[in-house]
Amino acid sequence: MDEIFGIPAPLLFGQLLLGLINGAFYAMLSLGLAVIFGLLNIVNMAHGAQFMMGAFAAWMLLAWGGIGYWWALLLAPIIVGITGVILEKLFISRLYKLDHLYGLLLTFGLALIIEGVFRNEFGSSGLPYRIPPELSGAWDLGFMFMPVYRGWVVVAALVLCITTWLLIEKTRLGAYLRAATENAALVQAFGVNVPRMVTLTYGAGVALAAVGGVLAAPIYSVNPQMGSNLIIVVFAVVVIGGMGSILGSILTGFALGIVEGLTKVFWPEASATVIFVIMAIVLLARPAGLFGRK
Amino acid sequence: MADTTSITAAAIPDVAQEAGGVWGFSRAQLVGLGILLVFLVVAPFVLYPVFLMKLYCFALFACAFNLLIGYVGLLSFGHAAYFGMGGYLAGHAAKVWGLTPELSIIIGGVTAGLLGVLAGWIAIRRQGIYFAMITLALAQMVYFFCVQAPFTGGEDGIQAIPRGNLFGVIPLDRDLSMYWVVAAVFLAGFLLVHRIIHSPYGQVLKSIRENEPRATSLGYRTDDYKLLAFILSATLAGVAGATKSIVFGIATLTDVHWSMSGEVVLMTLVGGLGTIFGPVVGAAVIVTMQNYLAEMGAWVTVIQGVIFVACVLAFRRGLIGELAALLKVKL
């Protein structure tokens, strides 16, 4: 099997893998967006900036503190998550009674501030982040070479997404979360501290974005704009999947990454726009999104 | 969700239509219009005309955007697509096809309008934040199209667009001649937006903003109204972009980028959503700020972000909205 549909197999599988990796990031980011949206009813426009902060946190931990990849994978999301908690306490929590669009505008402003500060500090050109030695090298799969790190990203993202899904669907904490999504006032009446839960949910969603950033750091160069272009695609992914469903956003994320990878093989010029085209088609056929409830 | 007020309702003081108004302008608005007219006539002799032309282009862009957010309650986060596409088409028409500036501007506006037909048709299927995300995504699609399409010149953009001769006879190479054309285009667009929102059609738009299910139950096909508003807004944004590229002789990717969409939101927010003078004042504030802070590089982005946050948290009516509330008039 050297050629499939007239395409050399290594090229096809190479692009499929790239697509799967992009899909992993789409899934992680849209998952975070869905979790935040579910409880807070805001679209977190700062999500891309927080993804970028995760990557920068990993870079800073290594460059300034000598702390390596594995600790960064734990510490960076905590640090970025804490900044998220602070942002929610200081700013976002003031907007819950207003139109949801204000939340979108506020987080957009926050994204501009974060990106601008990082651009001033680190410039626009990317900073390199080395692949940890345990994950460098490549496996020979017979039909293609698979860089170990890329395989790791896909597996890690899958594990993370499934864990989050299980946490929300199967645990007591998740049950509170789902209940508060349905009716916050009632859950509060049962003695659950809903405002604190909202704050922590935002922190957790932001931390998810930051994990994505750390995972992305060795693949893409670490630069201040790395999140903003990604996040617009993720918005399209979210519109396609519908924000109501956690599992839906994971599946849509991976699937669209693969579609994008395949498009790169068969029609490279369209690969940047294919997700948006799919979004348009889905909106025409099913305005609520593939997994949407409304 | 039902009890949340619409995004502009909070920004508009509840003042009944005052008596003594003309053409839908309240007395206070007439005063405002008078100040605007005097400014348009006097300004080019006091301030740098090229700066003023830039300002008017963005003011018209913001007015077009405000037509949607302020009067239909739809937040489009992708208006740069229409602004930028208008600019590209006008530039192409003037440079490659050798058309006169007024025809180029019309072509830019019509192209943006057609794009608005398509994007609006898709986007109006969802409301609120989804509408914002969809328009943003569609605009990003347009951006990628412009990066790849041969006629846009990719990273270089379309350069050396001739200003040409108005109606084929009046040369526009002098800044002051160009100024009057831009001022006229801006004023026409401004008055058109005002006319639209004070027409019976505009009243229906406002009712959709306040309570869409109710408007539907009264028998209005709200989707048709929203689509038409979207197309009008896109067309005017295209005219603004087209005028800008004729003035500066260049059309680039900056004008289709999402950050431009963010800028027009900021201008309108600073000036006051749903006020007729707000977008103009907001555009003036932001363009002036960018002019003075141009050397500061990325700090401009930070400052814009801070203004965004401040406006949303403490200042939702915007400059003109606050002024109107203070004076208890409609502006």
Chain B nearest-CA distance from A4, in A, is 28
Query: From CA B269, how far away is CA A236, in angstroms rounded?
Result: 25
Name the residue among B10, B137, B299 with its Cβ closest to that of A232: B137
Domain regions of chain B by residue span = 26-327
- Cα distances (angstroms) measured from residue A26 to each of A197, A255, B131: 25, 9, 20
pLDDT tier, A214 (very low <50, low <70, confident <90, very high otherwise):
very high
DSSP state of A183: -
Chain A nearest-CA distance from B55, in A, is 22
Chain B CB within 8 Å of residue A29 CB? no
Name the residue among B130, B298, B302 with its Cβ closest to that of A239: B130
Contact yes or no for A31/A274 (Cβ under 8 A) = no
Contact yes or no for B139/B120 (Cβ under 8 A) = no
Contact yes or no for A155/A161 (Cβ under 8 A) = no
Contact yes or no for A204/A82 (Cβ under 8 A) = no
Radius of gyration of chain B (CA): 19
C-alpha triplet B217, B219, B222: angle, nearest 5°: 85
State whether CATH 1.10.3470 applies to domain B26-327. Answer: yes
Chain B CB within 8 Å of residue A276 CB? yes
pLDDT of residue B85: 94
Q: Do A273 and B141 touch (CB under 8 A)?
A: yes
Chain B CB within 8 Å of residue A270 CB? no
Which residue bears the tokens 């363009």? B287
pLDDT of residue B290: 87
Name the residue among B5, B136, B309 with its Cβ closest to that of A235: B136
CB atoms within 10 A of CB A4: 13
Q: With beta carbons under 8 A apart, name residues in chain A contacting B154.
A: none
Which tens digits make up the pLDDT trace of A107-155? Answer: 999 999 999 999 988 888 888 888 888 888 888 777 777 888 988 999 9
Chain B nearest-CA distance from A86, in A, is 15
% of residues, chain A, pLDDT over 70: 98
Parts of chain B with a pLDDT under 70: 1-21
In the chain, the amino acid numbered B119 is: A
Residue A217: φ, ψ to 5°: -50, -45
Name the residue among A100, A106, A113 with its Cβ closest to that of B128: A100
Biggest distance spanned by C-alpha atoms of chain B:
58
- CA nearest to B62, candidates B191, B233, B313, B257: B233
Q: With beta carbons under 8 A apart, name residues in chain B contacting A276.
A: 137-138, 140-141, 144
pLDDT tier, A208 (very low <50, low <70, confident <90, very high otherwise):
very high
Burial B265-298 (b: 16+ CB within 10 A, else e): bbbbbbbbbbbbbbbbbbbbbbbeebeeeeeeeb
Name which residue leads in pLDDT, A205 or A133. A205
Mean pLDDT, residues A151-169: 91
User: For chain B, what is the HEC assignment?
Assistant: CCCCCCCCHHHCCCCCCCCCCECCECHHHHHHHHHHHHHHHHHHHHCCHHHHHHHHHHHHHHHHHHHHHHHCCCCCCCCHHHHHHHHHHHHHHHHCCCCCHHHHHHHHHHHHHHHHHHHHHHHCCCCHHHHHHHHHHHHHHHHHHHHHCHHHCCCCCECCCCCCEECCCEECCCHHHHHHHHHHHHHHHHHHHHHHHCCHHHHHHHHHHHCHHHHHHCCCCHHHHHHHHHHHHHHHHHHHHHHHHHHHCCECHHHHCHHHHHHHHHHHHHHCCCCCCHHHHHHHHHHHHHHHCHHHCCHHHHHHHHHHHHHHHHCCCHHHHHHHHHHCCCC
Q: Do B308 and A276 touch (CB under 8 A)?
A: no
Judged by DSSP in three states, A138 sits in strand
Name which residue leads in pLDDT, B261 or A286. B261
Examine the pLDDT at A15 and tell me if it is beyond 80. Answer: yes
CB-side neighbour CA atoms (13 Å) of B171: 2
pLDDT of residue B293: 84
Chain B nearest-CA distance from A216, in A, is 22
Q: Tell me the count of A-B CB pairs closer than 8 A.
A: 138
Which pair of structure tokens corresponds to residue A51? 């993804």
Name the residue among A95, A99, A120 with its Cβ closest to that of B299: A120
Name the residue among A91, A276, A279 with its Cβ closest to that of B313: A91
Q: Which residues are CB-neighbours of B93 under 8 A, at least 6 positions away?
A: B99, B103, B104, B107, B108
Q: With beta carbons under 8 A apart, name residues in chain B contacting A115.
A: 301
pLDDT of residue B21: 61
Q: Which of B141, B210, B311 to mutate to test the interface with A (most CBs of A within 10 A)?
A: B141
Q: Which of B308, B316, B317 to mutate to test the interface with A (most CBs of A within 10 A)?
A: B308
Query: Please, which residues bridge with residue A3 across strands?
Result: A8
Name which residue leads in pLDDT, B149 or A29. A29
Which residue bears the tokens 């960018």? B290
- CA nearest to B309, candidates B259, B252, B270: B270
Task: Give the nearest chain A residue to B7 (CA atoms).
Answer: A99
Examine the pLDDT at A33 and tell me if it is beyond 60. Answer: yes
Q: Do B309 and A238 touch (CB under 8 A)?
A: no
Name the residue among B122, B312, B316 with its Cβ closest to that of A109: B312
Q: With beta carbons under 8 A apart, name residues in chain B contacting A97.
A: 4
Q: With beta carbons under 8 A apart, name residues in chain A contacting B297.
A: 119-120
**CA atoms B284, B289, B294, B299: torsion sign:** negative
